[in-house]
Amino acid sequence: MGKHPSQKHADGFHGFTAADMEKKFQVSLVGLSAEHTLKEILATLQSTYSGSVGIEYMHIGDLQKIDWIRQRVEDPNFIPSDKNKLLKVYKELLKVDTFEMFLNTQYKTTKRFGVDGGEAAVAGVNAAIEKAATLGMSECVIGMPHRGRLNVLTNVVRKPLVQMFAEFKGTHYDFEKLVEKSDEDDWLFAGDVKYHLGTSQVFSFEGGKTITATLEANPSHLETVNTVTLGRARAKQYYLGNTEESRTRVLPILFHGDASFAGQGVVYETMQLAHVQEFDVGGTIHVIINNQVGFTTDPVDDRSTLYTSDLGKSFNLPILHVNGDDPVAVTSAFELAAEWRQTWQTDVIVDVVCYRRFGHNETDAPEYTQPVLYKQINKHPRTEAVYANSLVDSGAATPQELEAMKSSIWKEHEAAFKEADSFKPSEEAEWVATKWEGFVRPTDMSNSHPTGVDVELLRKIGERLCYTPDGFKVHNGLKRQLKKKMEDLEGGETIDWATAEALAFGSLLLEGNHVRMKGLCETGPIVKESKSEPLVDVCPRCFRSSR
């Protein structure tokens, strides 16, 4: 009979035993050169691969990329120990934590979809943006669901605190004027408007690097914002020249829940288009806020894979699992993700393994469905407290230093909260995700900006829609459709939706606007990206524009 597995472990692993710990071996680990004892090698490997960051990358299949990651994560400085860096991370975390704690104090029973339990992820995104900025990025487009959205608006996109508090107090919008300007069926604003709308801000990091950050507006349907976010990123890259260099200048970041990342098809659909020529945005940083529970569902009941991020292996992506209660490790993982994206122009996944301190929102009682889990969560200290204790224990900071920082940031929130009583919104439309020049505010008359087109111009566009090249044999069924379309256009009485849409595209093109149309026919992808001519050239199979 063979030995019991426990007895094999007692004898050692891979033929090594405790007696071999002082033997020396030649290794090629980063940070170790020449000969080292097995004990030193084991300590280095454990600190790299058995700490707060777990990295899946051996599945990638490209030795150059594998070595690129290995050189960085095996570097002893991958997780920094410099006091200034540690305190910078603490300050970023403290802003995130204070925002949630302050709102919980002022609006304890109000929905805010706080990021409590995953605070380090917000600080990590800031680190990723700052890192990418040093590597050429100048614009960032973010898509995310409700959870943590208000915090990202405030602490990443830099929406002013006073404006956020004014929205909570209901002093930001003139609702009576809005009601007068709107029909009841077209009511634009609801009580949870804060969790749906986005914004765009321009700000600078230390050193003067200016960044334009946009948070996309988002409906309640998880993951639907993914394609919108990447579409906006692609459009920005187009206007920056539509080149490989422009890909590095615009960084898309997508937040996901653990259950939705594994369970919703649009995630796969988005990722499998990542390197199709006309959809490539030069890589996306995917951030999973891994609560280790879906809405109320245990992982064993919502997916077949070990990790929620396993989809990434289908596309040879590096996956960085990181403990959300270790903000320095989280920050390091995000910085590595940003460097990967800027270097290799492919997607990367950061799986922040954390928890959801409250329920789906602050009015829920998660103990109803997860009593055992939430018994543990209720006893667990906040991430800020965990990190503060580690800073004090390591001698990186004193309790007095940390308390001074906490007091200062709390006072900033109190001052902004007081100022919100008299806050007056600017004339700009803060509620839209980009400051569009001439965009109509909800309190303005929409007809002050006419969008109509002269009928004769529409008829000319219609003629080109029905145009067929000389010598081109048109299918009889399509010939009848084109004839009917032309009769409708000449008659001017009624046209169908498809024709109206095509006329709109044509008028936009004639005005010099960029119009992007994507379809698929038997001859392959048909893409039109033009700033000048209306639809002229056609595909010989489906009669769509081939330009």
The span from the CA of 281 to the CA of 243, in Å, is 10
484: its two tokens:
């009917």
* Region 128-136 average pLDDT: 95
* Region 505-509 average pLDDT: 90
Bridge partner list, 26: 35
How do strand 35-37 and strand 285-290 relate by DSSP bridges?
A: unpaired
- In this predicted structure, what is the pLDDT of residue 447? 52
By the 8 A CB rule, do 52 and 329 touch? yes
Per-residue pLDDT band at 320 (split at 50, 70, 90)? very high
Kindly report which listed range (183-187, 268-272, 367-371, 500-504) carries the lowest average pLDDT score: 183-187
The span from the CA of 386 to the CA of 373, in Å, is 19
Query: Angle 161-169/83-106 helices, nearest 10 degrees?
Result: 20
The span from the CA of 313 to the CA of 57, in Å, is 9
Q: Is 38 exposed, middle or buried (0-12, 13-18, 19+ CB in 10 A)?
A: middle
- Whole-number CA gyration radius for the chain: 28
pLDDT > 80? residue 165 = yes
- Each domain of the chain, given as residue ranges in start order, spans 9-50, 72-174+192-422, 455-511
By the 8 A CB rule, do 151 and 264 touch? no
- In this predicted structure, what is the pLDDT of residue 326? 98
The span from the CA of 470 to the CA of 271, in Å, is 42
- In this predicted structure, what is the pLDDT of residue 131? 96
**Residue 66: closest CA among 272, 344, 331:** 344
pLDDT > 90? residue 388 = yes
210-215: strand order across its sheet = 53-56, 319-323, 348-353, 285-290, 250-257, 139-143, 210-215, 199-204
Spell out the residues 6+ positions from residue 247 whose beta carbon is closer than 8 angstroms to its own: 237, 280, 281, 282, 283, 345
* Region 324-333 average pLDDT: 98
pTM: 0.84
- pLDDT tens digits, residue range 45-57? 888 889 999 999 9
Bridge partner list, 249: none
pLDDT > 70? residue 424 = yes
By the 8 A CB rule, do 423 and 172 touch? yes
**Residue 57: closest CA among 353, 337, 345:** 337
pLDDT > 80? residue 427 = no
- In this predicted structure, what is the pLDDT of residue 444? 58
Q: Is the dihedral of CA 142, 146, 152, 157 positive or negative?
A: positive
By the 8 A CB rule, do 355 and 348 touch? no
214: its two tokens:
């946009």
Higher pLDDT, 535 or 133: 133
Spell out the residues 6+ positions from residue 286 whose beta carbon is closer than 8 angstroms to its own: 254, 256, 261, 312, 347, 348, 349, 350
What does pLDDT average to over the chain?
Answer: 84
Higher pLDDT, 261 or 519: 261
Kindly report which listed range (8-17, 35-44, 213-222, 501-510) carries the lowest average pLDDT score: 8-17
Domain boundaries 72-174+192-422, corresponding CATH code = 3.40.50.970
Q: What are phi and psi of 201, to 5 degrees?
A: -140, 150
